[in-house]
Amino acid sequence: MSEPLKIAVAGLGTVGAGTLALLAQNADLVAQRCGRRIDVVAVSARTRERDRGVDLSGVDWYDDAAAMAREADADVVVELIGGEDGPAKAVCEAALTAGRHVVSANKAMLAHHGAALARQAEAAGVGLHYEAAVAGGIPVVKALREGLAGNRIRRIYGILNGTCNYILTAMRDSGRRFEDVLAEAQKHGYAEADPSTDVDGIDTAHKLALLASLAFGTELDFAAVHVEGIRHISPLDIVFADELGYRIKLLGSARMTAHGLEQRVHPCLVPTDTPIAQVNGVFNALVASGDFVDDTVYEGRGAGGGPTASAVVADLIDIARGRRTPVFGVPVEALEKAEPAPMQRHQGAYYLRLMVRDQPGVIADLAAAFRDEQVSIESLLQHGQSPTEAVPVVLTTHQTEEARMQRAMAIISGIEAVVEAPRLIRIEEL
Amino acid sequence: MSEPLKIAVAGLGTVGAGTLALLAQNADLVAQRCGRRIDVVAVSARTRERDRGVDLSGVDWYDDAAAMAREADADVVVELIGGEDGPAKAVCEAALTAGRHVVSANKAMLAHHGAALARQAEAAGVGLHYEAAVAGGIPVVKALREGLAGNRIRRIYGILNGTCNYILTAMRDSGRRFEDVLAEAQKHGYAEADPSTDVDGIDTAHKLALLASLAFGTELDFAAVHVEGIRHISPLDIVFADELGYRIKLLGSARMTAHGLEQRVHPCLVPTDTPIAQVNGVFNALVASGDFVDDTVYEGRGAGGGPTASAVVADLIDIARGRRTPVFGVPVEALEKAEPAPMQRHQGAYYLRLMVRDQPGVIADLAAAFRDEQVSIESLLQHGQSPTEAVPVVLTTHQTEEARMQRAMAIISGIEAVVEAPRLIRIEEL
């Protein structure tokens, strides 16, 4: 057997501890699959005292993770600190400067600085691996970068944030409101104290930007992702969606259109009988469609210590075996600068829920607004009647352009009997 | 860019033509992802005249595929002839002897001769790649061998034969009998004129044996696979399964048990709300469960020129990039000889359908048979009454041992009011 692969691990939270536990528990198996052992030679974390359930004897401890990345006698630095900038980025830059491979689970950092880091890795002739940054243990980065590499990718979409999917699933199961389910998820540790990165769609957008670069061979462009979260989804919308044959999911989607690269993160109505509609709770799933392979689906746990450690170690095994692939599938220089497709040019069908005072002529006014913008109505639902309270009216449209829909919404918002801001959810054709 | 990777293709049927079409259509993309071009330098097929819709000018033609494998100036020989022995095997052996990498879509050959071929490849220091042999375009070989390589695999199971899944889906949708749906499938080209390899479960068993070797690091043992096909599934069973909350699927399953490696191919009742139950028509799916990653699911098209070509080219790109992995994940010498778990020791729940004459005491006799073998009945359904004709009775059991169930069946078959051989279908806990 060859020399061991020596690794230094920065960050010993759930994923860091999980990675050390995996490397200890499956050491022989991993060595066999690598053709060499993987030895943890150094670690760094905020506090040395905490018991993490893993044996750190014989491992060098560093209080300063960047110093470890520079100085430890390691072939690979595993960055599991997290955060867009700060220590995580400093660790990666230091490791690459020192000519060490980097494995990172940090989607925020990579979405913002992935191009610069990839350029640095390429110049240094080392790898920058990030299977753990997207969809936890599901090997989607490997699937896109290698398994489907013969295909021109037509489209990718998926459920990439377990917290949002847990909340939407629980809302549907229990009929409760977003705020209540979020509070419960926070209590159980499924959602952060500050849930914004998850529920406002930012985390999904980080992951989507990485996958889109891989899938389409384009430069990372996180700023171009259209992002909406799930805060405005109401139990009423979930009930109407059910009635119409849909589930509501937060999807990240990317495809190349006639207007450029479309990258979108927003709640979607997806037909109940599609695989993605059946992905519930904390599970993640990705659909990747290629010109020869057609649709392929990947599903599993998108977070947690075990699944994420599985992805980190898969990257380590690739490094140990000497399997090299450019960071985004092709050399950084070959990545194309894609024109971002303006959201106003998006083509799709729409679900629109209004709260209206139940008075004669309202439906006629709504219909006129759609007619004026040449948006074709597919269905209209009005349940319940009330002389005093507002009642919900739900409309779905045929395929149209986002700009038309937004103009129709503006007219509708001005109708006197419409008492709340209209709620728009896009219907995704899968 | 480096020198082109030169390939010779043996067999120009659907997959061969698809592979050439992909390499022509996506040549630039593939070159970018490989860092070098992939050039087809030689081909061989039975008839030279047929128009395959691909340009073969400038490509050397060989009537003798084995001669091509020996003599062509190629780095890789792609074997797409098919068949367990004969020309396919001769081509692979000749290529490996000549020190060329082999890419093959041939599950029958690999299930029988994979170990010997892998040994030969290892000795020659070349690769033997077979992503296309299992689950068409879905990169499940790569997922098991690399993406989940940090995990001890607990279990794999899946729908690995599109013909069977198409037939079972069509039977459920239309209520028609196996024979009628098969005839229709043959007419549409979804089933072979001799359907035995597919409908008797042999093709699934070939693929399962390959996946089990990869997943568990064990020597290929096709002979140890317990194989049953779908010929005996009746519309009645599909209706009862529905009523009980199940779909009937032909699954290949493998896991390490206390009694050894269990490899099974047979129809299963799977709970309707599981991902695998929702895989319909010609689609394939695999579930792989690892000790750290937990369940992961892979779904897509398991056959056809495009999807299979996608898998062939993924292997070629790995070779072009110099990404090397042992054929079954670890060196052949390190593969363990697993004790095959006897089917009689299988633990599971069971569905049993009987046709009985509706007379007093029959149910009591059935119940006594189960009691004597200590098999616990979970449910009993008897629909319809008839003084003259036999009526169906369906029983499901709690978890028990196959041997007990078989003995209970033997007793039941002897009951005078039981007029047909009992139909047993295993219920799979997922």
Read off the pLDDT of residues B56-65 as tens digits, 9 standing for 90 and up. 989 999 999 9
Give residue B360's pLDDT band: very low, low, confident or very high (50, 70, 90): confident
Residue A289 lies in a domain: yes
Residues B70 and B216 in one domain: no
Domain coverage including residue B16 = 5-133
Residues A170 and A235 in one domain: yes
- pLDDT (average), residues B203-215: 98
Residue B391 lies in a domain: yes
Residues A39 and A182 in one domain: no
Residues B128 and B218 in one domain: no
Whether residue A1 is predicted with pLDDT greater than 70 in this model: the reply is no
The ipTM estimated for the assembled molecules is 0.96
Residues B178 and B126 in one domain: no
Residues A156 and A99 in one domain: no
CA A384 to chain CA mean position, Å: 38
Q: With an 8 Å Cβ cutoff, are A137 and B295 in contact?
A: no
For A230-250, the pLDDT digits (tens) are: 999 999 999 999 999 999 999
Residue B317 lies in a domain: no
Q: CB distance from A332 to chain B under 8 Å?
A: no
| Encoded amino acid at B30, one letter | V
- pLDDT (average), residues B152-181: 97
- The sign of the CA dihedral A201, A202, A208, A213 is positive
Catalytic residue among A89, A107, A207, A249: A207
Residue B274 lies in a domain: yes
Q: Which residue of A has its CA nearest to B318?
A: A146
Residues B380 and B414 in one domain: yes
Mean of all residue pLDDT scores within chain B: 96
Q: With an 8 Å Cβ cutoff, are A143 and B142 in contact?
A: yes
| C-alpha span between B291 and B282 (Å, rounded) | 30
Residues A148 and A35 in one domain: no
Residue B406 lies in a domain: yes
Q: With an 8 Å Cβ cutoff, are A299 and B294 in contact?
A: no
| Distance set, CA A59 to CA A81, A310, B185, B250 (Å) | 18, 21, 62, 49
| C-alpha span between B159 and B280 (Å, rounded) | 10
Residue A338 lies in a domain: no
Single out the residue in B91, B117, B133 at which a domain terminates.
B133
Single out the residue in B110, B133, B156 at which a domain terminates.
B133
| C-alpha span between B312 and B289 (Å, rounded) | 25
CATH number for position A379: 3.30.70.260
3-state secondary structure chain B: CCCCEEEEEECCCHHHHHHHHHHHHCHHHHHHHHCCCEEEEEEECCCCCCCCCCCCCCCEEECCHHHHHHHCCCCEEEECCCCCCHHHHHHHHHHHHCCCEEEECCHHHHHHHHHHHHHHHHHHCCCEECHHHCCCCCCHHHHHHHHCCCCCEEEEEEECCHHHHHHHHHHHHHCCCHHHHHHHHHHCCCCCCCCHHHHCCHHHHHHHHHHHHHHHCECCCHHHCEECCCCCCCHHHHHHHHHHCEEEEEEEEEEEECCEEEEEEEEEEEECCCHHHHCCCCEEEEEEEECCCEEEEEEEECCCHHHHHHHHHHHHHHHHCCCCCCCCCCCHHHCECCCECCHHHCEEEEEEEEEEECCCCHHHHHHHHHHHCCCCEEEEEECCCCCCCEEEEEEEECCEEHHHHHHHHHHHHCCCCECCCCEEEEECCC
pTM score above 0.90:
yes
Give residue B312's pLDDT band: very low, low, confident or very high (50, 70, 90): very high
For A369-401, the pLDDT digits (tens) are: 999 999 999 999 988 778 888 999 999 999 999
Residues B129 and B145 in one domain: no
- pLDDT (average), residues A38-55: 91
CA-based nearest distance B50→chain A, Å? 23
Assess contact for A353 and A423: CB atoms under 8 A. Answer: yes
- pLDDT (average), residues B407-419: 95
**Domain total in chain A:** 3
Which chain A residues in 41-100 lie under 8 Å from chain B, judged by CB atoms?
none
Residues B89 and B188 in one domain: no
pLDDT for B1 equals 62
Q: For this structure, is A187 an active site residue?
A: no
Q: With an 8 Å Cβ cutoff, are B294 and A309 in contact?
A: no
Q: Point out the residue among A32, A310, A312 whose CB comes nearest to the CB of B151.
A: A310
Residues A264 and A349 in one domain: no
CATH number for position B277: 3.30.360.10
Residue B332 lies in a domain: no
Q: With an 8 Å Cβ cutoff, are A313 and B150 in contact?
A: yes
Residue B169 lies in a domain: yes
Residues B107 and B147 in one domain: no
Single out the residue in A84, A112, A133 at which a domain terminates.
A133
User: What proportions of chain A, in percent to the nearest 5, are helix, strand and coil?
Assistant: 40, 25, 35
CATH number for position B117: 3.40.50.720
| C-alpha span between A222 and B251 (Å, rounded) | 42
